[in-house]
A and B are shown apart, each in its own frame.
Chain A
Amino acid sequence: MIRRFTVLAALAVVCAGVELVAGRGMSPGAAWDVLNGGGDPTERHILFQLRLPRLLVALVAGACLAVAGLVLQSALRNPLAGPEVTGVTPGAVLGAVTATALGLAGWDSPLAVVLAACAGGCVGAALLWLLAGRGRGDPAHTAVHGVLVSAVLGGLTAMVLLVEPGELGSVVQWLVGTTEGRVWQHWHLLWPWALVWGVAAWLLAGPLTLLRCGDDIALAAGLSARPARTLALLCAVALTAGAVAAVGALGFVGLLVPHLAVAVFGADLRVSLPGAALVGAVVVCGADAAAQLSSRLLAGALDSGRLTLPVGALTACLGAALLLVVVRRTPSRTF
C-alpha cells in the first residue's frame, strides 16, 4: 500500500514537472533557468503567476472530483454514479452561469460563484432524485436518468446563455472544463474549500465503507444509513461545486477515477479516499500537461495562434475510451 502511494506521488510530481515546463509561453530550457533563479521578469511572471497556480488548481480540482465521485458511488452503491451522471455537474454549471448572468456573482467575486454552483449542484441532485423515482436502487436506471437530467439542465443553461450572450466566450471554455488562465485568486479560493470538504469526506470514510456493503449490514453495525448518506451526498455536491467553479465541467474524471482508485487501493475507503484524491490529481494534471504539450505542437504544426486544447476535451475523450474498453471487456455482464 505504501509502495503504491509512493509510486502515485512520484507520478504526480512527474506530471507537475511536465506541466511546469510544457506550454507555449517559453521553452523548457527557459523554464529551467527560472527555476534555478535566473530568467527575465516576463518569464518569471509566466512561471510563478500563471503556470504554478494553474498546476495547483488542476491538482486540487482533480482530487476534488475524484473524491466526490468515490463518495457518490459508495453512498448510492452504484458503480455508474459520478458527478457527471447524477446531474450534479450540470447543475453546478447552471448555478454558476445563472448567478453570473443575473449579476449576483461575477468573475471578481469567486466565492459567490462557488456558492451558486453548490446550490445548482444540489438542485441537480434533487431533480435526479425526483425523476429516478422508485428505480433509485438500480445503477443503470439512475445513470440513464442522470443523462436525462443533464439534458434538461443543459437546456436551461442554454436559455440563460442566450438571454445573456455577453459571457458566452468565457463560459464555453468552462462548459468543457479548462485550466486556462487560472491565477492565484482561484487557488486561494479553492484550497480552503477543498480542504474543509475533503476532511469531511475523510471523516465519513468509515460509514461510507459500511454503506458500500449495503444498508442491512450498515444497520447491523450500528450505523443509521439515511443521515450518513445525506451527509455524504452533501459532501460530494460541495466538492464537485468547488471543482466546477474553479475549472469547469471536466468530463468523466469523477466517474472513472474512483474505479481506478478502488482497483489500486481496495474497497476500504479510509485508504482509497486519499488514494482517489491522488489518482484524480495525477489524471487531471497529466491530462493538462498533455493538453499543453499538444496545443503547443498543434499550434506549431497548423500555424494558428488561437488553437488551444482545453483539458476537459482530453479527459472526456480519455474517459470515453476507457468506458468503451470497460464495456467491451465485460461481455459476460449485462451492464
Chain B
Amino acid sequence: MVVLLAVSSVCALSLGTPYVPPHRLVAAVLDGDTTLAGIVVTELRVPRLVLALVAGACLGAAGLVLQEALRNPLAVPEMLGVSSGAALGVAAPLVLSLSLPAAVQPMLAIGGAALGGGLTLLAAGLGRSPSAVLLTGAAVAAALQAALLVLMVMADQLDLQLIYRYLLGSLSARTWDDVAGLWPWLLVAAPALVLCAPVLSVMRLGDEDAEALGVRAQRARLAALAIAVVLIAPVTAVCGPVAWVGFLAPHLARWFDPAAGAVRWLPWSAVWGAVAVVVADLPARLALAPVETPAGAWTALLGVPAGVALMRSGGRGRAARRRPAAAAAVREPLPGPRKAASGAADDLSRARASDDVSADAPGRGRIDDGCPPSSGATRTEDVR
C-alpha cells in the first residue's frame, strides 16, 4: 500500500518528457527554477501529483460517507446525481460564455452537486430502500446529463472539446493555483468528517437501532450528503468528475480490512482514493503520448470492474446472507448488491412486471377505462 503509493508518486514525478531519473528528483526540486528539469518538476509535476492525491482522498472519503450513510454499497456520487450536478454547475457558464471569477466556480459546483444529491434524496424519500435510492439517482443523473448534453450541443467546436475533456475528469495543465483553491474547502470538510465518522458506524445497524442509540437517522443522512457534496464539488470544479473513484476506494478499504468499522475505513478509503487517482493519472499522461487521455476515463475503465470484483469477493462465503440477524449484518464486510436488492427480488419476482411498475404509472386511470386501480394483478394473468 505505502510502497504502491511511493512507487506511483515517484513514477508520476520522473516519467514523461523530459525524463528525470528518480535519484535526481531531489536535486531537481532544490534547483527550482534554474534548470529545465527543475521547472518541469516543481511547477508542473508536483502540483499535479498533489492535486491527484488530494482529489483522490476527497473522492474516496466522500464515497465511503455516502455508502455508509445510505447503507448501500453502490451509493456513489455518480449514481446519486451529485457528480453530474457539479459538472453541470461548472459547464453552464462555460457554454453561455459568462465570465466569472475563479472563486465562484466551486460555489457553482457545490450548488449543482447539492441540487443533484438533494433532488435524489428528496425524490427517493430518505428512509427508502437502497435500490429505490439508486434508481432515483440514476434517473436524476440521466436528466442532469441530458441538460449537459443540450449545453454541449449548443457549444461551438472549440468549447465542445474543452467541455468534453473537462467532463471526463482530467488533471492536465493544473498548477499550484488550482491546488490552492482546494484548501479552504478541505478545512471545512475535514473536521466534519472526523465528527461524523462515529455516527456512520452507528448508521450501519439500521435506522431503528440508530434511533434507539440516539442518532437522528434522517438528519445524519442529510449531514452525510452535505459533507459529501462539500468534498466532491470543489474537486469537480478543479479537475472534472473523475469517475468511480468514490466507488472503488471504499471497496478496497473494506476488502483489506473487512472486520473494521466506518471509523477505521474512512482514512483507508481516503488513502486508497488518492492511490487510485495517482495510478490512473500515469496511463492518462503516458499511454497515448503526446496526447493526454483523461484520468477519469481510466478510472472508469479500470475502477468499475475492479470494484465489482471486490464487491463480489467480499460477498463470497456468505451463504447465510439472508439471515436477518443484526449481528451478522454488522459482521458482514459489506452488504452486497444482492443483499441490498434481495427484498426487491422477492417482491418483483412475485409481482408481474407490468403490475409492479406501471400499476401506479400516471395516466393509468385515464387509460384503463373503468378498471379499478387495484386490478393490475388480474389484468396481467399473474400465475403465482
Within 8 A of B (CB), among A171-188: 172-173, 175-176, 178
Question: Which residues from A are CB-within-8-Å of B243?
Answer: 151, 155
Q: How far is the CB of A73 from chain B (nearest CB, A)?
A: 6
Q: Is B146 an interface residue (CB 8 A)?
A: yes
B361–A143 CB distance below 8 A: no
Could you tell me the distance between the alpha carbons of A144 and B291 in the complex, rounded to whole angstroms?
A: 33
Question: Which residues from A are CB-within-8-Å of B312?
Answer: 133
Contact string against A for B residues 67-85, beta-carbon threshold 8 Å, 1 for contact and 0 otherwise: 0000000100011000000
- With A135-B338, A147-B79, A324-B139 already in contact, the answer to whether A213 and B160 are too (CB < 8 A) is no
For the residues of B in contact with A, the DSSP-based class is: helix
Question: Which residues from B are CB-within-8-Å of A293?
Answer: none
Q: Is B341 an interface residue (CB 8 A)?
A: yes
Q: How far is the CB of B240 from chain A (nearest CB, A)?
A: 11
Q: Is B143 an interface residue (CB 8 A)?
A: yes
- With A137-B349, A138-B342, A334-B132 already in contact, the answer to whether A259 and B164 are too (CB < 8 A) is no
Question: Which residues from B are CB-within-8-Å of A156?
Answer: 297, 301
Q: Identify A266's interface contact among B132, B139, B168, B380, CB under 8 A.
A: B380
Question: Which residues from A are CB-within-8-Å of B156?
Answer: 306
Q: Identify B367's interface contact among A147, A161, A264, A310, CB under 8 A.
A: A264
Question: Which residues from B are CB-within-8-Å of A155?
Answer: 243, 296-298, 300-301, 304
B308–A334 CB distance below 8 A: no
A263–B152 CB distance below 8 A: no
B153–A308 CB distance below 8 A: yes
Could you tell me the distance between the alpha carbons of A30 and B128 in the complex, rounded to whole angstroms?
A: 53
Could you tell me the distance between the alpha carbons of A217 and B345 in the complex, rounded to whole angstroms?
A: 19
Q: How far is the CB of A114 from chain B (nearest CB, A)?
A: 23
A259–B139 CB distance below 8 A: no
Question: Which residues from B are CB-within-8-Å of A138?
Answer: 338, 341-342, 344-345
A327–B337 CB distance below 8 A: no
B341–A306 CB distance below 8 A: no
B358–A172 CB distance below 8 A: no
Question: Which residues from A are CB-within-8-Å of B361?
Answer: 259-260, 263, 322, 325-326
Q: Identify A140's interface contact among B157, B300, B345, CB under 8 A.
A: B345
| Chain A contact residue count (CB 8 A cutoff) | 81
Q: Identify A163's interface contact among B125, B291, B357, B363, CB under 8 A.
A: B291
Could you tell me the distance between the alpha carbons of A314 and B142 in the complex, rounded to whole angstroms?
A: 11
Q: Is A331 an interface residue (CB 8 A)?
A: yes
Q: How far is the CB of B183 from chain A (nearest CB, A)?
A: 30
Could you tell me the distance between the alpha carbons of A335 and B72 in the complex, rounded to whole angstroms?
A: 14
CB-CB nearest 10 A-B residue pairs: A155-B300, A262-B354, A79-B353, A259-B358, A140-B341, A316-B146, A334-B129, A176-B149, A320-B143, A140-B131
Contacts A151-B304, A158-B164, A335-B135 known; 16 new A-B pairs at CB < 8 A: A4-B367, A80-B135, A80-B357, A148-B307, A154-B300, A156-B297, A156-B301, A162-B293, A169-B157, A176-B146, A213-B383, A316-B143, A317-B146, A330-B357, A334-B129, A334-B132
Q: Which positions in B face A, CB cutoff 8 Å?
A: 74, 78-79, 123-125, 128-129, 131-132, 134-136, 138-140, 142-143, 145-147, 149-150, 152-154, 156-157, 160-161, 164-165, 168, 243-244, 288, 291, 293-294, 296-298, 300-301, 304-305, 307-308, 312, 337-338, 340-345, 347-349, 351-354, 356-364, 367-368, 379-381, 383-384
